């Protein structure tokens, strides 16, 4: 490695609206200033495909928005989530083709399980960085198989033996999940200088709380050889911890989510019903000004993860505070808001039962 390498990590990307460059512009400077920017693509980008039945389906996002994601500064995308299969195999195929055309490297979804588990690899200043991506929350129908499209996954047991789904009571890491982590990380470890593992995990729309399995699966990834664990799915940030000296971002929240699919005012009956039901399930009323991001009010406290990998292998960990402005546009925070968001992340880390962290004025995270 010829110099220190800087990496920026973003959470969920849902860009259903026109003019994607505008929505991404508020965080683009941080993405472009890094040597590598990694995000999680939450939904397929396609104008075709059959709607998946079962979970509340997301619509296909405009195909042209993939190029906007690349233009904003993203280089690498994780794909294994609960909505990437919502437009079927065609939606995944179109998304992968659009990513390749835009120069984006990705992992976590494919036309077979082997393809979905294949790591993404990129090189910066002589350092080879690998990314693996897994869905921990289901629904099972979105998972890839030997001969059918879907996403890579880690099986988490439910408390009552029910099917694995985002709203299920997910509690225990299975031996199967541990074996997948060990196998996939070992397969890439010799060819990569750094291994990032992205986990789509956790309880949505709820401040601070970690589900019983989250620390266990994150620790298992580190113990299997990962250097960094990246969490997303909850649409609100989570705490940060270190295991064996390696960082775990338990939830990066929303990288950039602007969508009408979560609004009650729409024609799709399943999405309209979910928008109403989740208010009762999670006990919050979205701020009416956030029409394109109707999440928990605390979700306006957002962040990007930061890594600086030094020539001696030492990883310096930090965050960049992000403020989400109505109707849902993320913007790099400054001044008092920057400090408020840092204090918020410190507080939710402790509230979740994690060891305390300290975030400096420059965003550096220490224990």
Predicted confidence (pLDDT) per residue in 200-252, tens digit: 999 999 999 999 999 999 999 999 999 999 999 999 999 999 999 999 999 99
pLDDT band at 303 (very low <50, low <70, confident <90, very high): very high
pLDDT at 48: 80
Return the DSSP state at 313.
S
Q: Is 187 helix (H, G, I), strand (E, B) or coil?
A: helix
Domain with 70 in it: 5-258+289-366
Domain membership flag for residue 279: no
Domain assignment of residue 271, yes or no: no
Instruction: Answer whether residue 127 is part of any domain.
Output: yes
Can you give the pTM of this predicted structure? 0.95
Neighbours of 147 (CB within 10 A): 8
Kindly state the tokens that stand for 366: 């220490």
For residue 167, what pLDDT band results from cuts at 50, 70 and 90?
Answer: confident
Q: Is residue 47 part of a domain?
A: yes
Residue 201 lies in a domain: yes
Question: What CATH number has the domain bearing residue 336?
Answer: 3.60.21.10
Report the pLDDT value the prediction gives residue 271, as an integer from 0 to 100. Answer: 58
Domain membership of residue 276 (yes or no) is no
Q: Which ranges constitute the DSSP H helices of the chain?
A: 20-24, 28-33, 65-71, 88-102, 113-117, 175-189, 214-223, 269-282, 335-351
Question: What's the pLDDT score for residue 260?
Answer: 83
Q: Is residue 277 part of a domain?
A: no
pLDDT given at position 224: 98
What pLDDT score was predicted for residue 232? 98
Which parts of the chain are beta strand (E)? 5-15, 36-41, 76-78, 105-107, 109-110, 120-124, 127-135, 150-151, 156-158, 170-173, 194-200, 228-232, 240-243, 246-249, 254-258, 301-309, 315-325, 329-332, 358-359, 365-366
Share of the chain above pLDDT 70, in %: 91
Largest Cα–Cα separation, the chain = 56
Which percentage of the chain shows pLDDT scores above 90? Answer: 84
DSSP assignment of 8-29 equals EEEEEEEE-SS-HHHHHTTTHH
Tell me, yes or no, whether 106 lies in a domain: yes
Q: What is the pLDDT of residues 88-142, one digit of tens each?
A: 999 999 999 999 999 999 999 999 999 999 999 999 999 999 999 999 999 999 9
- Name the domain count of the chain: 1
Express each pLDDT in 344-353 by its tens digit. Answer: 999 999 999 9
Least confident of 1-5, 83-87, 129-133, 309-313: 1-5
The pLDDT of residue 283: 73
- Over the stretch 251-299, which tens digit does the pLDDT of each residue have? 999 999 999 876 666 566 665 565 666 666 667 788 889 999 999 999 9
Split at pLDDT 50, 70, 90, the class of 166 is confident
């Amino acid at each position: 490695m010829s110099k220190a390498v800087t990496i920026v990590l973003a959470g969920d990307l849902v860009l259903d609206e026109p003019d994607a460059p505008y929505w991404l512009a508020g965080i683009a400077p941080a993405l472009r200033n890094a040597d590598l920017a990694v995000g999680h693509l939450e939904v397929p980008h396609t104008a075709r495909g059959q709607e998946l039945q079962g979970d509340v389906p997301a619509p296909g996002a405009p195909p042209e928005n993939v190029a906007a994601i690349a233009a904003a500064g993203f280089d690498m995308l994780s794909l294994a989530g609960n909505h990437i299969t919502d437009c079927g195999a065609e939606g995944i195929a179109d998304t992968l083709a659009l990513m390749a055309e835009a120069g984006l490297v990705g992992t976590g979804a494919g036309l077979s399980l082997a393809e979905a588990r294949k790591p993404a690899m990129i090189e910066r200043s002589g350092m080879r960085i690998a990314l693996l991506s897994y869905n921990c929350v289901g629904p099972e129908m979105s998972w890839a198989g030997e001969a059918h499209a879907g996403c890579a996954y880690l099986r988490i047991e439910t408390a009552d033996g029910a099917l694995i789904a985002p709203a299920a009571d997910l509690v225990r890491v299975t031996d199967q999940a541990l074996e997948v982590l060990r196998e996939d990380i070992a397969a890439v470890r010799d060819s990569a200088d750094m291994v990032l593992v992205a986990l789509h995990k956790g309880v949505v729309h709820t401040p601070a709380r970690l589900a019983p399995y989250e620390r266990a699966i994150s620790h298992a990834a580190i113990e299997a050889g990962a250097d960094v664990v990246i969490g997303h799915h909850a649409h609100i940030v989570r705490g940060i911890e270190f295991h064996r000296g390696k960082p775990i971002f338990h939830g990066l929240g929303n990288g950039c989510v602007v969508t009408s699919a979560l609004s009650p005012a729409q024609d799709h009956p399943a999405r309209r019903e979910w928008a109403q039901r989740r208010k009762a399930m999670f006990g919050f009323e979205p701020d009416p000004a956030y029409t394109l991001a109707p999440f928990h009010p605390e979700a306006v406290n957002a962040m990007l993860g930061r890594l600086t990998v030094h020539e001696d292998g030492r990883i310096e960990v930090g965050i960049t505070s992000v403020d989400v402005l109505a109707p849902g546009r993320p913007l790099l925070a400054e001044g008092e808001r920057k400090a408020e968001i840092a204090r918020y992340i410190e507080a939710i880390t402790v509230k979740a039962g994690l060891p305390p962290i300290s975030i400096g004025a420059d965003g550096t995270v220490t224990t």
